[in-house]
Amino acid sequence: MSDGRVIGVISGKGGVGKTSITVNLGIALKQMGKEVTLVDADFSASNLGVYLGRYDHPVKIQKVLHEEASVNQAIFRHPTGVKAITSSNEINQVEPNTAKLRELLETAAKDSDYVLVDCPPGLNATVENIIESCDELMIVTMPTQTSGLNAAQVIEKAKQLHKPILGTVMNMVENNPEKELVEREVEMMTESHILGKVPYDPEMKEALFENTPLVLHNDLSPAAIEVRRLAHSLEGEQFNEPKLGKLKRGLRKIKKNISR
Ligand SMILES: Nc1ncnc2c1ncn2[C@@H]1O[C@H](COP(=O)(O)OP(=O)(O)OP(=O)(O)O)[C@@H](O)[C@H]1O
Ligand SMILES: [Mg+2]
């Protein structure tokens, strides 16, 4: 296997869905037979393990960056088969030395088709180092002015650093042109290609509450379908819309309500 792609999932603005997209996209790629490693690079508010369903591992990314553990010691396998490296929540660990991050990601990429790096919000020296350590960037934005502007800033910085932009994922889209930016506006604002549009989906929060990533919680929910479509487009594969998806989704809901 040749070395995998190291993709930084980044936004500028916080809370737009980077971790949700990272986890669900990673699982969707794994379900397609790809080897995937998820890396939590959000050192100050790390929650990748929580989004995976409260998975924890004693060896965190900080230990590897500080050369107290090897990359393989930090990697654990989630029941889905996705591999992950989580980050410490200890407050004195918030700004680890990122000099070794590229080496860490390169090692992880040796046994992976994809290494997805969950980035922190903002644009500071640590984030710049993370950008430099990735091969390419996937931008996540909500269809709002503020989120779009922050995404554009990240893209500008990435261009200064000669980092390729894979494209932009619009998340929490409500398809309401009166109160949100449409695809063309986001495209113009960010000067980037729109990779996918993930709808606002209440099941995303429900899944988080139930400690199960959305694509496992309900693979037919609207956001899960769009994340699975995104996984296929990364692989250059056609995504076949699930047959009778809406009907099956409705039946599942009824069953769930009856069993409550
Ligand atoms: N498509 C969606 N529909 C509805 N809710 C969503 C969607 N995507 C994410 N969310 C919710 O939005 C919140 C923020 O998501 P998430 O933590 O993934 O964002 P983030 O960009 O990683 O945040 P941070 O910048 O703090 O790391 C969570 O409660 C998540 O469940
Ligand atoms: Mg996050």
Global pTM reads 0.95
- Domains along the sequence of the chain with CATH: 5-259 (3.40.50.300)
Give the residue whose CA is nearest to atom 12 of ligand 1.
Answer: 17
CA of 41 to the centre of ligand 2 (A): 9
Q: Tell me the CA–centroid distance for residue 10 and ligand 1, in Å.
A: 12
Which residue minimizes the CA distance to atom 15 of ligand 1?
Answer: 17
pLDDT tens for the chain, 260 residues: list them.
Answer: 569 999 999 999 999 999 999 999 999 999 999 999 999 999 989 999 999 998 889 999 999 999 999 999 999 999 999 999 999 988 776 688 999 999 999 999 999 999 999 999 999 999 999 999 999 999 999 999 999 999 999 999 999 999 999 999 999 999 998 999 999 999 999 999 999 999 999 999 999 999 999 999 999 999 999 999 999 999 999 999 887 777 777 777 777 777 77
Three-class SS of 200-211: CCHHHHHHHHCC
260 CA from centroid of ligand 2 (Å): 31
Residue for token pair 């790809």: 34
State which of 39, 141, 204 you would mutate to test the pocket of ligand 1, scoring each by most atoms of that ligand within 8 A of its C-beta: 204
Written as one letter, the residue type at 105 is L
The secondary structure of 1-29 as a DSSP string is ----EEEEEE-SSTTSSHHHHHHHHHHHH
Whose Cα sits closest to atom 9 in ligand 1?
17
